[in-house]
Structure 1
Amino acid sequence: MRGFDRDAGDTATIDDAAVEAPPAIGTDERRMHVRAYNYWVSLLGGRAYPAIEDLDPSQIADFGPNSVLLDFTGGIENPKVAWLGAVLREECGLGQQIASIADVPSRSLLSRLTDHYLQIIANRAPIGFEAEFVNSRGRNTMYRGILMPFSSDEDSIDFIYGVINWKEVVAEKASEALAAEIGQALRHVPRAPLGSDIPVWADGPHASPLLGEPIAYDAEAAEPSELDDSSSIYDWLAAARESAESAQHSERRSRGALYTALGLAFDFSLIADARPEEYGELLKDSGIAAQARAPMTPIVKLVFGINHDKTRLTEYAAALSHGRRLGIASGGLPALLDNHAGGLKGIVQAERRLRAPAGKPNRDEEARTTLRSITPCATVALDTGEAEFVVLVARRVSDGTLGIVAPIASDVALIDRAIRIAAAEA
């Protein structure tokens, strides 16, 4: 386990499709969910999960008001809401106290967090997510959040702490109109003379030139429709960057524009394969390391920018990797993305499934299987509902036998722990 502020060079061992892996991000990180993850890591202290005693959301001025704490000590089906930050409460219009997730209004930001809590139980690790939805006020909202496990016994997950940040975006029609106006303006920007030395995308996301030396950039040749084998690798990169910049002008990022940009990035990767020496020089000049296990990561960094959202870069690299896996020809990736079920997300999931290592054994299920195979040493008729396993509390009576005084069927964490102990001693 590592923090988000680990050195960026360590990312060479992360596969393109491993979108759950924490991205390497500098210590000046401004994104709230990343700061929350770093805080969670700081509380680990060598344990599998931080101790719940070390968490006090009311004392976290940074993201405490944007957070919620779920308490599973009473059961996994309907965890209690032990803490709800003031900012999140106000955004969701929750003036009244809510006791459990059953009280969380649908189509609220809080529901975006609580809908993911079972993933934490299954994965036993922090889960980050981002998406957009139309809230109860009819406003389109983009959000980014993270859920992190906590424990009261250093073994089981009985608390989950979530942090979420959001912003409302402009209406789709207004966004498309704005993008059209910007595109029209860009088409009338004077072109640089042929052969002039200017940094590619000098006024784009890279405020300073990405490459160490100015590039002789033929703006006319950089148009996607005019690129061919005679075009330089810099022309291919410039065309991909121009398309990526256009795709980012709109808050909602038009899917077609993004797919076009990814298609040009994919085509650039094919050119890079055909011209390894030129590509190696380009990487060296830009300060980006080649990655044997994730060869598409440097490609998307060159096209979309080193400072682009790390999760997005990982998804883009996965999409390019999937295209390479399928042997897609130059110009064919946009059609693959457009026709694949789920689009970009679907492609990323498909690539992730192909790369996923064998899953770790489920200790709880293995313990249950062990106990199911054991012949009961005694039976007793008690009303404990429909639970398959319960914990029975007994005391020794005068004749040396054990008398059952109470069944426990509601404390899931206690039952799971007892099952593991019993299976280990069986």
Structure 2
Amino acid sequence: MDTAHGIDKHPDDHGHDAEPAGRPDGIGTDERRMHVRAYNHWVSLLKARAYPSIEDLEPGNIADFGPHSVLLDFSMGIDDPAIQFLGRALREECGVDASITHISQVPGRSLLSRLTDHYLQIIANRAPIGFEAEFVGQRGHNTLYRGILMPFSSDDDTIDFIYGVINWKEMVDAETQASLNAEIEEACRTAAPRHVPSAPVWADGPSAQFDAPAPDPIEDVLGDDAGLWDHLAHARAAVVELGDTDTRSRLALYRTLDRAYGFAEAADRDVEGYAELLEDCAIKAQARAPMTPIVKLVFGADYDKTRLTEFAAVLSHARRIGIPSSGFGDWVAGFDGGIKGIVKAERAARRPAVAPDRYARAAAELRARPSLAQVAIDAGDSEFVVLLGRSDGSGGVDIVASIDGLTDQAVRRAAA
């Protein structure tokens, strides 16, 4: 059964996302979180507007969920919106090519056809809509899917574009599933289990961490002679401990971030070594987000991207306000709202100042200008009036009408 809902995500400080009730069983973590990452991207484009500008959206450059997305254009009407972008993965699932241009051309019983059930809700609710359901797809297999539709505008007021992101899981038929279950059961009986320690996949060793035992816990304080790699190992040991369900706690997460902050400070002291470390791990330095590579090295490049972004924001805000590494742990633990509060404060600090109102600026400029002429006319309570004049053919102008409804535009244009 299809369900649709608004977005109401409240992840806690341990990285667990609060999920709406009623999702179909069998949809994995990535399927559940892809629409959350898409929603976070939509929020990042708002910039204090009612809707993000369509000019800021570049779905072809979004490696994370761009291949699973579609951009619908309603500027020519809502009955049959145009398809401005269709991601590769979604295009392949639906069995269509680049020649498809409108929703009416979408094959029935395809994932893309399911979007038509929801896009009118965006127009009505004027807000993102999440949805989840299951259906029998074109290949006859039961398919579980989850997605989100988000409104965009070309004029900051009208919803004339909708961006959708959808992920899915195709289930095998009962006979095939029974056969797979039997093979797995037989393999479990005949093969000895292999112990795999709980550890993240780090960029500089995607398999090494699974072939070696987890490192022993490291003392909380490193010596003064500790180098860059010492600080990185120190932080990674905390990540391993954080992954242990017996030691997982908010304080454990704070300690991990404390060590990551110490690693960032060590990177500042060893610029060359840090650059070599990034190159060895195939991680790019980011001038606008310098803490993102730090948290990728500490938590692993494959760690949840939303959490990595939050952790980088915490470290960035500490750096912004000058928190020393020796006081980082107490600062995080005492911050109102915890990690979420720090992330909110950092995003507010990054947000550009609201530009002065264009009409107010234009009106102030016109008030300072000298008068060109004066006519006796009833302007009511209005400060500015738009008059329509007719040339009399001898250098004069006769006022023939006063026009309501164009004053704001005329004031902005006159002062431009």
- Higher Rg: 2
Q: Which has the higher contact order (CA 8 A, sep 6+)?
A: 1
What's the TM-score, normalizing by structure 1? Answer: 0.47
What's the TM-score, normalizing by structure 2? Answer: 0.48
